[in-house]
Structure 1
């Protein structure tokens, strides 16, 4: 079982290299341009994707590898008072979009994470992000779902298996952080 899981992970990486290297490069460009312009990076996802959003945001505000100044990154998954109030008053599908309406500005970046590419709350957040002038990156799997038509770039992990998709999402997030580290000497 262990070898099967590890080999499946390696196969997914090989498939990602073949299918998505250009999209990952585009994602690196979007995040570095956002940081260079002094704009904000927002991230959101549900479940394991929420954990990935928080992980990447922490790498920005803390550091990845290189010692550098803190950078403006925020996971929209962390404020329990906002999440529960918005869910209670407007419905769960609006917990991220309402926060983007409050905080996002033109030139900011929204990284939307959904293994299916069809999470209603993420789709709503993408619509709001585009409406306020944010650039958008999607991290998806399973063919990309509805997010494929909504993102400036949608990085689709070529897998139907949630665990493999999520493993690749955090790898891609680390690649983004390495690109950001490259801005600082």
Structure 2
């Protein structure tokens, strides 16, 4: 039994390593996404994040890295996760439907010049896609973070970072790594 577990561990680490090696080829797209975030903040905008489940946790994590600090002390940067207000999520979900939980918040909190980072491993989460649609209507830029292929999100964004895996756990590993790099690049611009 332990042997099977050890083999699973080895395969998982090797799969992750191969994915990260492939992800290195996306350096230009990641740098471009960071530049969009920097430009939005410099122009007085904010960065908003949304996603479901593990992607919701990533949204909260990344917003906090910008609002607080990633590695260096510097001024707080305007960022928020549309995943953290349980009263808003449950009220909007109850009154309008779960598909509107992010779009409704975006319509109340966002403005032209802001930036939405939409996170979905499949690229097909209806509530994330609805938030992207709302962002488009409002003049809010959109960066997508998804898995291989990109789903419907791929063509709905200004820039979509489709990490090179179709396996949810591996996608999520790469999403947080990309997110950390985005935060570091943004932080470096303002530190």
- Sort the TM-score into its range (normalised by shorter chain): over 0.9
Distance 1:12 1:68 in 2: 32
Contact 1:35/1:180, CA 8 A, preserved across alignment = no
CA deviation vs aligned residue, 1:151-184 (integer Å, no higher than 9, x gap): 0000001111101100111111111111111113
Q: Calculate the TM-score normalised by the size of structure 2.
A: 0.94
State the partner residue of 1:82.
Answer: 88
RMSD: 0.9
Note the residue ranges of structure 2 that are not aligned, 5 or more in a row. 1-7
Distance 1:38 1:183 in 2: 15
Distance 2:154 2:31 in 1: 17
Note the residue ranges of structure 1 that are not aligned, 5 or more in a row. none
CA deviation vs aligned residue, 1:57-79 (integer Å, no higher than 9, x gap): 00011100010111110000000
**2:172 aligned with 1:136, yes or no?**
no
Q: Calculate the TM-score normalised by the size of structure 1.
A: 0.97
Distance 1:38 1:60 in 2: 15
**Structure 1 SS opposite 2:111:** coil
Distance 1:91 1:72 in 2: 28
**2:119 aligned with 1:113, yes or no?**
yes
Distance 2:55 2:179 in 1: 11
Distance 1:35 1:65 in 2: 18
**Structure 1 SS opposite 2:190:** coil
CA deviation vs aligned residue, 1:38-61 (integer Å, no higher than 9, x gap): 211000000000000000000011
State the partner residue of 1:64.
Answer: 70
